[in-house]
Amino acid sequence: MFLRAKKVAGRLYYQVVETYRDGGRVRHRSIVSLGTAPSLEAAAARLRADLGPDPAAAEGEAAGGPRALRRRARLQAKLALIERLRAAHGADGEGAGKSPRRPRAARPAPSPA
């Protein structure tokens, strides 16, 4: 997995992307969109702010209705994924999914023809 920055309508959006093979071809799929947050920490902070206090604990089970409960469940799932990525790749998410690069072998100089 790695972080990808995508420019859309002049704004940078960040995504956590997974690489996989499909019939011999390398493909990418977006695992979670971080919005305009440039790091996993910033995205987690934004999600925590969006979640706020638990409405079911404060106002009873039917707080916000089924739509609000589904939205809250999606946000909690996204936050859980971000927290797992932060645990695996450090607090700021730098280098998430990046493997250390091997040095390239020196290419021989082209022979004059």
Residue 113's pLDDT is what? 64
- Quick one: pLDDT at residue 85? 76
> In angstroms, rounded to a whole number, what is the distance separating the alpha carbons of residues 7 and 5?
7
Instruction: Supply 12's token pair.
Output: 């940078």
CA distances from 16 to 4, 33, 74, 106 (A): 6, 6, 16, 33
One-letter amino acid at 50 equals D
Tokens linked to 47: 């999600």
The per-residue pLDDT string of the chain (113 residues; one tens digit each, 9 = 90 and over) reads 777 888 888 888 888 888 999 999 999 988 878 788 777 788 788 888 887 776 655 555 556 678 888 888 888 888 888 788 777 766 544 444 444 455 566 677 777 76
**Per-residue pLDDT at 35:** 80
pTM score: 0.52
pLDDT at 20: 92
Question: In the chain, where are the structural domains located?
Answer: 2-89
User: Please, are residues 44 and 25 in contact by the beta-carbon 8 Å criterion?
Assistant: no
Contact 36, 48 (CB under 8 A): no
Assess contact for 17 and 30: CB atoms under 8 A.
yes
